């Protein structure tokens, strides 16, 4: 193992939050809805999901390297938007 390589285990992180993530009293789910973190294609993360992922990585870095990077407010980013009549 190379001591200069660190891995963020995304699968385990998401699996440990199987029912969703609660941040600032808001539940973010894996469903396709307004609080969902996946985009309409069901594969890629929407902007809110990307901010949530960044939060997990920053928390990992802060915990393992003693850094103090600020964590983004996930609620500042839009989730899935529904448009009528498209």
Question: How many C-beta atoms surround the C-beta of residue 46 within 10 A?
Answer: 20
pLDDT tens column, 2-30? 677 778 888 888 888 888 888 788 888 88
pLDDT tens column, 43-66? 888 898 899 899 989 999 999 889
**The pLDDT value given to residue 86:** 58
Q: Is the pLDDT of residue 68 over 90?
A: yes
Tokens of 26: 């808001």
- Write out the H or E segment, with its range, that includes residue 28: strand 26-28
Region 69-83: what's the mean pLDDT?
85
Label residue 34 by pLDDT band (50, 70, 90).
confident
């Amino acid at each position: 193992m190379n001591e200069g390589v660190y891995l963020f285990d995304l699968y385990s992180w998401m699996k440990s939050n199987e029912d969703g993530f609660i941040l600032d009293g808001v539940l973010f789910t894996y469903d396709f809805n307004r609080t969902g973190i996946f985009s309409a294609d069901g594969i890629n993360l929407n902007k809110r999901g990307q901010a949530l992922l960044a939060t997990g990585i920053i928390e990992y870095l802060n915990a393992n390297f003693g850094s103090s990077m600020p964590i983004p407010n996930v609620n500042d980013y839009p989730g899935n938007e529904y448009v009528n009549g498209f």
